[in-house]
Structures are given as structure tokens and as C-alpha cells.
């Protein structure tokens, strides 16, 4: 029996209940919370969708998802039968206002059954363009007026640009208070990303050197080997900059760049993060080409397999100019970071699946050792591997054993796999639990989302007004277009990729 306090009674409505996100991520996450006894004593999950399902058929579909995608499969745990009793399905046309009454009915019934008013959570696992309409129809049900208990969870992308994000914020805030709106960025739920806060603020060691006096530059890489995986329709309206940089990567920049929080209060953390976004230097339209690089993958070979180019993917236009790769150099204009470049890159069909953050320190101010001792001397570097490896490596110089004084770089490594049992919760588990508990620390506030859009708008506008002349410009299984190498090489640096610690 776990010794922790469970969240209060909760009733979850999942719009997009028959969709992929629920199938692959949400249901497995809720199931794992159930196994770990983190689900409330009283809870129900209602999947909402247009497709017809009986409750049993719906449960069978979710079980299939769990067996495919959950970190723990059903056979080993045998908790499915008990968990599935809490799941039902509501077939409904989300465009028909009349049908929303069914939701109000379910809330009333459950309230009587539980003998208390539960948290009512509306999870928008639907295409982004449907969110405003659904939210508008939830408003008149009057369930939302209960600011203590009602919550709406909105997936990314939050808006398509600054203006639409602003309008969506306005609409949601006309019906919900900010405290009721949970804008998800799943990167913030990852263990390794949360650990950045522990590393920075639970250790006295790093803070004194965490600034422009000691740090030369920061690099963030979020690389994927997959292509658009049948999501061409969505990706055609997005691209790498919108899909990854506006949210996940800028959030990582915030975690690395933020000032020390006074407490772990949700608003305190978010204030410190939004300060970073507000301090990021705005790139003018004329400068975009020297700060940002875009790319699109061609067809070619990926680990011995022939793969199509982006323009040949399903639902993608044959002359699409959408970016499947983006690299940007940011500056944070404040006392801590002035003139320290933050290089970020992300892309599909790259050589490795890896998300890593490198903090590159400046060289030691004076080499006291003889020149031959220092031939392989490298400045210190702190590497945070977010995934799939989960580790932190600190590179420092050591004397190579032997009679001569030869130095070479070595790594001090903390690996999650070696230190713990390797069964960390998935990001969605952490985030769903936070929603039920009413803890918004790891969620995006309206001003954060808009500040992030403001940063990338000049790049998006410049790219839209000047179509690329060289697309597709990188081969699968590469590290993206040559221009991305040039972006960082111009400053006398290069992208860092590390060998994995654990070879399978
Ligand atoms: C999503 C993007 O937000 O993040 C996807 O829409 C991307 O395109 C995914 O593949 C990457 O997430 P993760 O957790 O695998 O790094």
C-alpha cells in the first residue's frame, strides 16, 4: 500500500476519446496511476467521440492501447478489470449543442453516487481547430462556473500564431479562470526535465557559475528519427518551428535560463520562466537568415530502409515548403545571459532519436600545464540527456595514468537507469495527476504561451514571405541541412552529439 494522499474525487471527460492521443498516451497514463494507487478513491473516465462504441468495445480498444503503449502491460499487473469499471463511452457530436446536456446529466449522476462534488476535468484531445467550439458549448452548461472544481486541459499546439493564441486565451478566459486552464506541454512532465530544477536549485554547486562569466554557450537538440508518421495533414499546418520550438524547446530554454525561484509555488515558477521569454532578443525580419535555418527531408535511406521524402508523405503537398527541421540562435538579454548564445535545433528523420542539453563552460583562464600536457584539454561541459538516455554528465580534465603529465577529458555520470529501477512515470502520468490535484506548476500560463509565440513570429513571417529555394535540403539519417552546421560554425563552435551510455 502506497503511503500518499490521493487526489480528490474526479470525473474526467476526454474529448477525442476514440483518438490516438487517448489510445497511446492518456489511457496508459491513467492506468499506470491506477496501478500505483495514485487515482482518486472515487473517479470515472468518460471517453467522448463521434464513432459508435459500446462501453465494452471501447474498453477493449483502450486495453489494446495499453498493451501496445503502456510502460507496464496488462498481463503482468492484472489490474485492468478493476480499472476498466471506471471507464465508459459517450457517443456524441461535439458540434451539436443539444448533446452537451448528456455531460451535465453524467456530472449530476456521479455527484449523487460519490456523495460529493467531484473535480470535473474536460480534456481536449482533439484537433486544435475544434477546441474553441467545444469550449464555447461547455460554457452554458454552468459546470464551468465552479472555479474550484472544473478544469479544462488544452493540448498543444495552443493557437497557430500569436493572434490565434491570443484569441483562444481570450475565449477560454471568458469561461474559465486562469487557474482552471491547463495548457499542456508534455516535455515539462518528463522526469529529466523536472530534474533540471533539482539540479539547479537543490545544489549549491552550480548557481555561482551558472552565468555569462563561466558559460560560453548552451545547446539544445531535440532530434527524431521518425518522419511525420501519418500526421502529414496536421504537420502541413505546423512545421518544426511551430511543432517543437515554440513550446518544448523554449520551455527547456526557460528551465536552463530562469532565475532562482523563491518557492515552488506555481505562479512563482511560471513568473521566473516568463521573465526568460520576455528577455529573449527579438529577431528582426532582416536578421532572420543569420539566426534561423530551416530544412526539409528528402527521400533516402534510414538505417538500411528506403524512406519517402516529406513531400511524398501522406496528406502532404508535392511542393510543400513546410520545415521539418529548424535551428535557431537565441540571446537572452539580461545580466545573467547577455551575449551567451543558446543554439537550438530540432528535426524529423535525423540520425538519432535524442534530446540533449549541453552547457558549454568557458576554457580555464590560464593553462599552468606544459603545452604537450594540454593537447587534449577541453573546457568543462555539463550534458543533460533528456531522452532516450536519461543521464547527466559532467566533463572535466583528468591526468592520464603514467609518468608523463598528460591530461584528457573524462565524464562523471549520473544515470537514471543505473541509479534507480528504470521505471520512471511517463510525462502524461505526472501531468494528469497534477491536473487532478490542481497543481499548475508544470503547465503553461496564458502569458507564457503568448510570449513564446512573440519570439518565433518574426521567423515564421520571414519564412512564409520568402519561400525556400533549396527544399528538400537534407537527407534522412543526417543531422539536417548544411546551413545548420554553418549557423554554429560561424561562431567558432560545433553541434555536440554524444555516444549513448547504454548500448542495447
Ligand atoms: C509532439 C510533436 O509535441 O512531440 C511531435 O507534435 C513530436 O511531432 C513529439 O514527435 C516528440 O515528443 P517526444 O516526447 O517523443 O520527444
Confidence of residue 256 (pLDDT cuts 50, 70, 90): very high
Per-residue model confidence (pLDDT) at position 148: 75
Rounded to whole angstroms, the Cα distance separating 83 from 63 reads 10
Q: Is 389 in the pocket of ligand 1 (CB under 6 A)?
A: no
Mean pLDDT value of segment 238-250: 97
Catalytic sites, residue numbers: 248
Closest residue by Cα to atom 9, ligand 1, is 244
Nearest atom in ligand 1 to the alpha carbon of residue 235 is 8
Q: Ligand 1 centroid to 245 CA: how many Å?
A: 11
Q: DSSP letter at 387? A: E
- How many whole angstroms from 240 Cα to the centroid of ligand 1? 10
Whole-number Å distance, alpha carbon 398 to ligand 1 midpoint, is: 38
- Evaluate if residue 268 carries a pLDDT over 80: yes
287-316 pLDDT tens trace: 999 999 999 999 999 989 999 999 999 999
The residue whose CA has the least distance to atom 15 of ligand 1 is: 224
- Look at ligand 1, atom 4, and give the residue with the nearest C-alpha: 244
Helix (H) or strand (E) holding 169: helix 162-175
Q: Tens of pLDDT along 136-163?
A: 999 887 776 677 789 999 999 899 999 9
Taking the alpha carbons at both ends of the chain, their separation in whole angstroms is 34
Q: What mean pLDDT is reported for the chain?
A: 93
pLDDT tens per residue across span 118-133: 999 999 999 888 999 9
Ligand 1 centre distance from Cα of residue 298 (Å): 20
Mutate to test the pocket of ligand 1, among 20, 127, 224 (most ligand atoms within 8 A of CB): 224
Helices (H), 261-394: 266-279, 288-291
Q: What is the pLDDT of residue 497?
A: 87
pLDDT band at residue 502 using 50, 70 and 90 as cut-offs = low
Q: Decide: 185 in ligand 1 pocket, CB within 6 A.
A: no
CA 18, 24, 29, 32 torsion-angle sign? positive
Please tell me which residue, 497 or 31, carries the higher pLDDT value.
31
Atom number of ligand 1 nearest to Cα 228: 8
Q: Would you identify the CATH topology of the domain 188-489?
A: Dihydrodipicolinate Reductase; domain 2 (3.30.360)
248 CA closest ligand 1 atom index: 3
- Answer yes or no: are the C-beta atoms of 309 and 299 closer than 8 Å: yes
pLDDT of amino acid 2: 57
Residues 389 and 413 sit within 8 Å (Cβ to Cβ): no
* pLDDT recorded at residue 429: 97
Q: Which amino acid residue places its CA nearest to atom 10 of ligand 1?
A: 224
The Cα 89–Cα 409 span in angstroms is: 58
**pLDDT at residue number 447:** 97
For 44-83, what is each residue's pLDDT tens digit? 999 999 999 999 999 999 999 999 999 887 766 678 999 9
User: Among 137-141, 226-230, 349-353, whose mean pLDDT is lowest?
Assistant: 137-141
Dist CA 258 CA 269 (whole Å): 9
**Is the beta carbon of 224 within 6 A of some atom in ligand 1?**
yes
Cell representation of residue 269 = 515558477
Residue 38 Cα, ligand 1 centroid: separation in angstroms? 26
pLDDT in tens, 83-102: 999 999 999 999 999 999 99
User: Is residue 44 lining ligand 1, measured as CB closer than 6 Å?
Assistant: no
Domain regions of the chain by residue span: 10-155, 188-489
Q: Is the CB of 243 under 6 A from ligand 1?
A: yes
In this predicted structure, what is the pLDDT of residue 76?
64
Q: How far is ligand 1, taken at its centre, from the CA of residue 396, in Å? A: 33
Superfamily of segment(s) 10-155: NAD(P)-binding Rossmann-like Domain (3.40.50.720)
224 Cα–ligand 1 center, Å? 8
Ligand 1: which residue has its CA nearest to atom 14? 187
Q: What is the pLDDT of residue 360?
A: 97
Residue nearest to atom 2 of ligand 1 (CA): 243
Amino acid at each position: 500500500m502506497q503511503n500518499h494522499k490521493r487526489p480528490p474525487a474526479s470525473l474526467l471527460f476526454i474529448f477525442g476519446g476514440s483518438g490516438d492521443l487517448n489510445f497511446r498516451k492518456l489511457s496508459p497514463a491513467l492506468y499506470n496511476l491506477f496501478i500505483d494507487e495514485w487515482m482518486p478513491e472515487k473517479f470515472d473516465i468518460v471517453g467522448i467521440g463521434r464513432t459508435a462504441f459500446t462501453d465494452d468495445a471501447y474498453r477493449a480498444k483502450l486495453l489494446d492501447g495499453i498493451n501496445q503503449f503502456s510502460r507496464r502491460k496488462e498481463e503482468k499487473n492484472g489490474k485492468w478489470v478493476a480499472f476498466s469499471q471506471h471507464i465508459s463511452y459517450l457517443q456524441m457530436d461535439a458540434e451539436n449543442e443539444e448533446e452537451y446536456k448528456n455531460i451535465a446529466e453524467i456530472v449530476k449522476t456521479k455527484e449523487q453516487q460519490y456523495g460529493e462534488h467531484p473535480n470535473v476535468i474536460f480534456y481536449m484531445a482533439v484537433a486544435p481547430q475544434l477546441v474553441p467550439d467545444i469550449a464555447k458549448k461547455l460554457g452554458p452548461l454552468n459546470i464551468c462556473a465552479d472555479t474550484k472544481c472544473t478544469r479544462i486541459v488544452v493540448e498543444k499546439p495552443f493557437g497557430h500564431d500569436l493572434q490565434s493564441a491570443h484569441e483562444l486565451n481570450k475565449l477560454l478566459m471568458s469561461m474559465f479562470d486562469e487557474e482552471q486552464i491547463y495548457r499542456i506541454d508534455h516535455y515539462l512532465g518528463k522526469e529529466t526535465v523536472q530534474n533540471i530544477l533539482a539540479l539547479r536549485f537543490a545544489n549549491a554547486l552550480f548557481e555561482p557559475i551558472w552565468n555569462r562569466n563561466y558559460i560560453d554557450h548552451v545547446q539544445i537538440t531535440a532530434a527524431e528519427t521518425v518522419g511525420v508518421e501519418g500526421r502529414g495533414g496536421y504537420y502541413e499546418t505546423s512545421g518544426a518551428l511551430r511543432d517543437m520550438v515554440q513550446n518544448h524547446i523554449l520551455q527547456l530554454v526557460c528551465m536552463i535560463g530562469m532565475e532562482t525561484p523563491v518557492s515552488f509555488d506555481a505562479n512563482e515558477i511560471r513568473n521566473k520562466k516568463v521573465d526568460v521569454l520576455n528577455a529573449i532578443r527579438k529577431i528582426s525580419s532582416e536578421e532572420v537568415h543569420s539566426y534561423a535555418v530551416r530544412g526539409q527531408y528528402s527521400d533516402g535511406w534510414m538505417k538500411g530502409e528506403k524512406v519517402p521524402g516529406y513531400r511524398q508523405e501522406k496528406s502532404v503537398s508535392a511542393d510543400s515548403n513546410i520545415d521539418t527541421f529548424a535551428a535557431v540562435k537565441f540571446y537572452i538579454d539580461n545580466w545573467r545571459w547577455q551575449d551567451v548564445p543558446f543554439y537550438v535545433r530540432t528535426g524529423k528523420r535525423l540520425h538519432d532519436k535524442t534530446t540533449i542539453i549541453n552547457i558549454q563552460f568557458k576554457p580555464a583562464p590560464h593553462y599552468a600545464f606544459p603545452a604537450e600536457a594540454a593537447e587534449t584539454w577541453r573546457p568543462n561541459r555539463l550534458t543533460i540527456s533528456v531522452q532516450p538516455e536519461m543521464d547527466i554528465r559532467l566533463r572535466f580534465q583528468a591526468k592520464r595514468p603514467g609518468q608523463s603529465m598528460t591530461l584528457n577529458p573524462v565524464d562523471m555520470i549520473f544515470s537514471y537507469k543505473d541509479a534507480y529501477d528504470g521505471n520512471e512515470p511517463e510525462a502524461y502520468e505526472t501531468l494528469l495527476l497534477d491536473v487532478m490535484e490542481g497543481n499548475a506548476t508544470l503547465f503553461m500560463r496564458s502569458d507564457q504561451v503568448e510570449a513564446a509565440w512573440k519570439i518565433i513570429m518574426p521567423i515564421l513571417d520571414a519564412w512564409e514571405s520568402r519561400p525556400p529555394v533549396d527544399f528538400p535540403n537534407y537527407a534522412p539519417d543526417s543531422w539536417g541541412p548544411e546551413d545548420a552546421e554553418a549557423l554554429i560554425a560561424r561562431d567558432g563552435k560545433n553541434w555536440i552529439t554524444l555516444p549513448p551510455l547504454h548500448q542495447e
